Amino acid sequence: MFLEIKNLSVKIENKKILKSLNLNINKGEVHAIMGPNGSGKSTLANVLAGKEDYEILNGKINFKDNDLFDLNIEERAQEGMFLAFQYPVEIPGVNITPFLHSAINSKRKRLNEDEIDNLSFAKLLKSKASDLGINIDMLKRSVNTGFSGGEKKRYEILQMSILNPDLAILDETDSGLDIDALKIVTDGVNKLKTKDNSFLIITHYQKLLDYIKPDYVHVMVNGSIVKSGSCEIAAEIEKDGFQKFQ
Amino acid sequence: MNSDTLNTLDTYSKNKYKYGFVTEIDDEKPKKGLNEDTIKFISLKKKEPVWMLEWRLNAYSKWKKMKEPKWANLSFPEINYQDIYYYSAPKGFDKKPKDLSEVDPKLIETYNKLGIPLEEQKVLAGVAVDVVFDSVSVATTYKGELEKLGIIFCSIGEAIQKHPDIIKKYLGSVIPPGDHSFSALNSAVFTDGSFVYIPEGVKCPMELSTYFRINAENTGQFERTLIIADKGSYVSYLEGCTAPKRDDNQLHAANVELIALEDAEIKYSTVQNWYPGDEDGKGGIYNFVTKRGLCAGKNSKISWTQVETGSAITWKYPSCILKGDNSIGEFYSVAITNNFQQADTGTKMTHIGKNTKSKIISKGISLGKSQNTYRGEVSFLRKAEKARNYTQCDSLLVGNQCGAHTVPYIDSKNNTAVIEHEASTSKINEDQLYYCRQRGLSHEEAVSLIVNGFCKQVLQELPMEFAVEAQKLVSISLEGSVG
Ligand SMILES: Nc1ncnc2c1ncn2[C@@H]1O[C@H](COP(=O)(O)OP(=O)(O)O)[C@@H](O)[C@H]1O
Ligand SMILES: [Mg+2]
């Protein structure tokens, strides 16, 4: 199994957010999680990425034959986990080029691969950026600083394409995007997709799923997955909302 | 602060000062202590004319009547001026070496360890280096090329002998010996330092650079630098410093004077990496430096950029006196303190002429148990019509045992003056660390990246060749202290 979440319960500040959650993802699969605001979707994404604010009450997570809880944030990232944040943070003064260059090299170091040199990296970054319709000028700016919501999301997808993760978690990457931006973002995902990598796409609209076809759709309510199935669930939600799952 | 942050800081602080080696060379010193005989010894050793000796003795008599300035936010034990050597030169320097083959190979080795390429062919393209080792200037590279343009770049000792008229006119003209006790001390016992004169209309085609190193034990370093940019000329000058690890504190009291005449520009950059003391606050340099620039002519400009990562104590306020109409003064500063380091640093902008402008960008980063103070004074004299100042002071705290303080003074005697002031104090942001680490960067790399980003406005003012070095130094000082 590629990613296996078993019976996961998580608490923050005395509030239990995730409750006995189970989820399995195989290599090459695309999963979508849908759920109302506050149901715990971002919490799940952050627990997977290793954010330290949470208390794990119960459960196990396996990722590529590792006990995920043995790895810290950067080790998980270097093992191929990528989280496109719902609200990417601004880092003033830090240019995207050296930032991503260090990121890709720390991953290569862990895999005992040679580091990529400045010139090859600059080329790679430029070509990925133009694939995603990102202006070269944007590469000169500081990470997320002064970006619009849509620019930040595109920037997350650019980083994802460069780091080429085994498991990409997209936390509401679609929200706040107009149709053109949504196309660019979903194109990015579809281009990256192979039979060897997996996606966990968190969304709360069905719209995104018109562009990315998930293999499975899960409904998350109040910290648990209450229903799993095919794309048809998304259509049900679109029609009737989340009420009937609550 | 979560436990990972603390762990990283711990690893940082165990990192050792990279430049803490001592070179074993016989040195030649006078007796310890400060008195007229010491000053005569120095003057004699340096084969100075009588007027120079008198100038020194005059400063010494002023110093005897003065007390150390005490207003800074610093605490340190009484300095015993009688327990310090005031001159130290590697033996055999009475005659200056003509070329590198005459220089003690051990010295060359020291510079190699420091990464200073002393041999011309190794010199970073376009950088002329004057190296001061304890009290003697060892070699000045690229001298010939500069001479063709009429540029004088030599040790201050050589300038006193060869260019007495310029020295008599300008030495002490910006920092009078009686200004305060450290300037009087420096004027009495200064040993070496650099001298630069750029003739009218000449744009110096390369970065001029001096490297200072304190090597001998119990030796004070009192260098004196004088830079004069004549009408319409331009020069960019960089100074770097290191010192070996010693358990005792060493005193460093430099004076730097800059003079920019009409339409001239001087850019002065410092990367200060003196030994900061160990994790328990033992040892380290006491750095009491006076740097002052005079924008003497119309449309002249002086800009100070400093990256201060070393020293146990830093007391330093590079200043500009904006006398010429339309003249500009700038101060860009990064000061990083760690462990038990204390820094009280900032600037003084004195607006005298019409339409004078000043800009102050200060970035303080405090770690460990250190204290970091920005102290700045902006004053507008009566005739400073339509003068302007912009000040921005940002402090970043890493951990919760350190302190950051901002002390701005403003004094305006002209009501057309415009002053803008912005200040911020923040803690290192856990969300930024999380973001960086999620992309695969280690905790240390993330801290270093964020701190470098925080300092960018200042670092980008450094000459290209040194910006990269400075970034590395910032990372090292985070590792070594968070260092
Ligand atoms: N740092 C936090 N402290 C306290 N409560 C939090 C914190 N983060 C999230 N929560 C709470 O956890 C619940 C789930 O939040 P979240 O995972 O962001 O939901 P979703 O992404 O599905 O909208 C919400 O009730 C939210 O208020
Ligand atoms: Mg969310």
Q: What is the domain partition of chain B in residue ranges?
A: 3-477
pLDDT band at B99 (very low <50, low <70, confident <90, very high): low
Q: What percent of chain B has pLDDT over 70?
A: 75
Inter-chain contact B453–A142, Cβ cutoff 8 Å?
A: yes
Q: How many CB atoms within 10 Å of residue B11?
A: 13
Per-residue pLDDT, A210: 85
**pLDDT above 50 for B120:** no
For residues B15 and B19, what is the distance between their CA atoms, to the nearest angstrom?
12
Q: ipTM higher than 0.90?
A: yes
Q: Where are the domains of chain A?
A: 3-245
Provide the whole-model pTM: 0.79
Q: Which ligand is nearest to the CA of A87?
A: 2
What does the CA dihedral B424, B427, B428, B430 come to, rounded to 10 degrees?
A: -120
Work out the end-to-end distance of chain A between its first and last CA atoms, rounded to an integer number of angstroms: 30
d(Cα B183, Cα B430) in Å, to the nearest integer?
Answer: 44
Residue A177 C-beta-side C-alpha neighbours within 13 Å: 25
CB contact under 8 A, A77 and B455: no
3-state helix/strand/coil string of chain A: CCEEEEEEEEEECCEEEEEEEEEEECCCCEEEEECCCCCCHHHHHHHHHCCCCCEEEEEEEEECCEEHHHCCHHHHHHCCEEEECCCCCCCCCCEHHHHHHHHHHHHHHHCCCCCCCHHHHHHHHHHHHHHCCCCHHHHHCECCCCCCHHHHHHHHHHHHHHHCCCEEEEECCCCCCCHHHHHHHHHHHHHHCCCCCEEEEEECCCHHHHCCCCCEEEEEECCEEEEEECCHHHHHHHHHCCHHHC
CATH class for domain A3-245?
alpha beta
Cα A78 to averaged position of ligand 2 atoms, centre (Å): 24
Q: Which two tokens stand for residue B433?
A: 């660390």
Q: Which of A9, A11, A15 is the pocket-test mutation for ligand 1 (most atoms within 8 Å of CB)?
A: A15
Give the Cα separation of B241 and A109 in Å (integer). 34
Q: Judge whether A152 and A88 are in contact, CB under 8 Å.
A: yes
- What is the per-residue pLDDT for B380? 97
Asked if A52's CB is within 8 angstroms of B445's CB, the reply is no
Question: Of A198, A221, A196, A201, which is closest to residue A211 (Cα–Cα)?
Answer: A201
- Judging contacts by C-beta atoms under 8 Å, the chain A residues touching residue B435 are 85, 88-89, 91, 143
Residue type at B196? V
Beta-carbon separation of B2 and A52 below 8 A: yes
At B139 the pLDDT is 47
Instruction: Label residue A42 by pLDDT band (50, 70, 90).
Output: very high
CB atoms within 10 A of CB B311: 30
Residue B156 has pLDDT above 60, yes or no: yes
A107 has a chain B CB within 8 A of its CB? yes
d(C-alpha A68, C-alpha A58), whole Å: 13
Three-class SS of chain B: CCHHHHHHHHHHHHCCCCCCCCCCCCEECCCCCCCHHHHHHHHHHCCCCHHHHHHHHHHHHHHHCCCCCCCCCCCCCCCCHHHCECCCEECCCCCCCCCHHHCCHHHHHHHHHHCCCCCHHHCCCCEEEEEEECCEEEEECCHHHHHHCCCEEEEHHHHHHHCHHHHHHHCCCCCCCCCCHHHHHHHHHCCCCEEEEECCCCECCCEEEEEEECCCCCECECCEEEEEECCCCEEEEEEEEECCCCCCEEEECCEEEEEECCCCEEEEEEEECCCCCCCCCCCEEEEEEEEEEEECCCCCEEEEEEEECCCCEEEECCEEEECCCCCEEEEEEEEEECCCCEEEEEEEEEECCCCCEEEEEEEEEECCCCEEEEEEEEEECCCCCCCEEEEEEEEEECCCCCEEEEEEEEEECCCCCEEEEEEEEEECCHHHHHHHHHCCCCHHHHHHHHHHHHCHHHHCCCCHHHHHHHHHHHHHHHHHCCC
The partner residue sitting opposite B435, judged by closest CB among A89, A92, A93, is A89
Ligand in closest contact with the CA of A47: 1
The set of residues, in sequence order, having a beta carbon less than 8 Å from that of A90 and lying 6+ positions away, is A142, A143, A144, A145, A146, A147
Pocket test of ligand 1: the residue of A9, A42, A173, A205 to mutate, having most ligand atoms within 8 Å of its CB, is: A42
Place of tokens 């060359």: B108
> What pLDDT, in 10s, does the model give residues A90-132?
998 898 888 999 999 999 999 899 999 888 999 999 999 988 8
pLDDT band with cut points at 50, 70 and 90 for residue B481: very low
Chain A nearest CA to B440, separation (Å): 4
Q: Exposed, middle or buried by CB within 10 Å (0-12, 13-18, 19+), for A15?
A: exposed
Q: Across the interface, which of A93, A110, A159 has its CB nearest the CB of B439?
A: A159
Mean pLDDT calculated for residue range B346-364? 95
Confidence category of residue B88, pLDDT binned at 50, 70, 90: low
Contact of B396 with B366, CB cutoff 8 Å: yes
Please check whether residue A158 touches B, CB under 8 A. no
> Could you read off the pLDDT of B322-337 as tens digits, one per residue?
999 999 999 999 988 8
Would you call A72 and B4 a contact, using CB atoms and an 8 Å cutoff? Answer: yes
Are B103 and B435 in contact by the 8 Å Cβ rule? The answer is no
Model pLDDT, residue A188: 87
- Give the residue-averaged pLDDT of B202-218: 69
Lowest mean pLDDT, pick from A154-163, A191-200, B233-242:
B233-242
The answer to whether B225 and B235 are in contact (CB under 8 A) is no
Tell me the C-alpha distance between A122 and B457, whole Å.
23
For chain B, what is the mean pLDDT? 79
Q: Write down the pLDDT at residue B378.
A: 96
Q: What is the pLDDT of residues B247-277, one digit of tens each?
A: 566 778 889 999 999 999 999 998 877 777 7
What is residue B288's predicted lDDT score, i.e. its pLDDT? 85
By residue count, chain B amounts to 483
- What is the predicted pLDDT for the residue at B100? 58
Cα atoms in the 13 Å half-sphere on the side-chain side of B143? 18
Which of the four pLDDT bands, split at 50, 70 and 90, describes residue B93?
very low
User: From CA B326, how far away is CA B403, in angstroms rounded?
Assistant: 37
How remote is the CA of residue A14 from the centroid of ligand 1, in Å? 12
- pLDDT single digits (tens) A172-217: 988 878 888 888 888 889 999 999 999 999 987 778 888 888 999 9
Measured in Å, residue B5 CA sits from the centre of ligand 2 at 26
Which residue type does A148 have? S
Q: Which of A89, A159, A163 sits opposite B432 (nearest CB)?
A: A89
Question: Are the C-beta atoms of residues B448 and B483 closer than 8 Å to each other?
Answer: no
A103 and B443 in contact by Cβ < 8 A?
no
CB B338 within 8 A of CB B370: yes
Please compute the mean of the pLDDT values over residues B325-350 and round it to a whole number: 90
Q: Higher model confidence: residue B164 or residue B108?
A: B164
Residue with tokens 């002031």, as numbered in its chain? B421
Confidence of residue B1 (pLDDT cuts 50, 70, 90): very low
Give the pLDDT score at A82: 97
Residue recorded with tokens 């924008």: B295
For residue B141, the model assigns a pLDDT of: 55
In sign, the C-alpha dihedral spanning A151, A156, A160, A166 is negative
| Mutation target vs B (from A48, A79, A91, A158; most B CBs, 10 A cutoff) | A91
- Chain B residues with CB under 8 Å of A80 CB are none
CB contact under 8 A, B453 and A92: yes
Q: What pLDDT, on a 0 to 100 scale, did the predictor assign at position B163?
A: 95
Residue B365 CA to residue B3 CA, distance in Å, equals 20
Q: Is the CB of A16 under 6 A from ligand 1?
A: no
pLDDT at B300 over 50: yes
What is the distance between the alpha carbons of residues B366 and B343, in angstroms, rounded to a whole number?
10
* Residue B388 or A132, more confident: B388
CB contacts, 8 Å: A93 with chain B: 452-457
Which is higher by pLDDT, B481 or B285?
B285
- Of A73, A96, A99, which to mutate for an interface test with B (greatest number of B Cβ within 10 Å)? A73
Does residue B457 contact residue B331 with C-beta atoms inside 8 Å? no
**Closest C-alpha to ligand 1, atom 6:** A12
The tens digit of pLDDT for each residue in A54-93 reads: 999 999 999 998 999 999 999 999 999 999 999 999 998 8
Cα(A196)–Cα(B34) distance, integer angstroms: 76
Average pLDDT on A147-170 reads 92
> How many angstroms separate the alpha carbon of residue B447 from the centre of ligand 2?
26
Ligand 2 centroid, distance to B397 Cα (angstroms) = 30
Q: In this structure, which ligand is nearest to the CA of A39?
A: 1
Contact criterion met (CB < 8 Å) for B440 and A163: yes
pLDDT of A165 > 70? The answer is: yes
Kindly list the distances between the CA atom of residue B441 and the CA atoms of A78, A138, A164, B431, in Å, as whole numbers in the listed order: 9, 22, 15, 14
Nearest CA in chain B to A77: B440
Q: Is A46 in the pocket of ligand 1 (CB under 6 A)?
A: no
Does residue A26 register a pLDDT over 90? yes
Cβ of B449 within 8 Å of Cβ of A91? The answer is: yes
Determine the pLDDT at residue B94.
46
Instruction: Note whether A3 contacts B: Cβ–Cβ < 8 A.
Output: no
Between CA B260 and CA B198 the distance in angstroms is 10
pLDDT in tens, B25-76: 455 666 677 888 888 888 888 889 999 999 999 999 999 898 888 777 777 7
**B280 Cβ neighbours under 8 A, 6+ residues apart:** B339, B340
